[in-house]
Homo-oligomer: A and B are copies of this chain.
């Protein structure tokens, strides 16, 4: 059966999401919580920026942060100059889980793609790179 390029992307995405969900669950995290933690590895982020990065309404994000905060994985750090704002930062335990989850996904996907030769990996990564730039942050 012939698959169009877009359909290939969609199916690939489902496989990746499934691996991501399993790796998250291994740390007793929901995929959304794991994604949040992984985004925070780069450093603390404010709620507004975070909602854009995750494509979530701010009100949805409040609850998501509440639940991981309740579990001691992140903390709301008050902004120094703007008393309305806060930044979400990983705790030590949050950092630990974030790396475990990240590693879990990476390992699973590496195992799954072990048969893809290095030159094809490079080609694929290069072909896809512009998409990531376009889809990630530059379209709010």
A residues whose Cβ falls under 8 Å from a Cβ of B: 3-21, 35, 55, 105-106, 109-110, 112-113, 115-116, 120-121, 123-132, 134-136
Contact = CB atoms under 8 A, between A and B. Distances in A.
Interface of A is mostly: helix
Contact of A8 (B3, B7, B11, B128): B128
Given A112-B134, A134-B112, A125 B3 contact: yes
A121 B5 contact: yes
A112 B124 contact: no
Contact of A105 (B8, B10, B55, B128): B10
B17 A17 contact: yes
Nearest to A115: B130
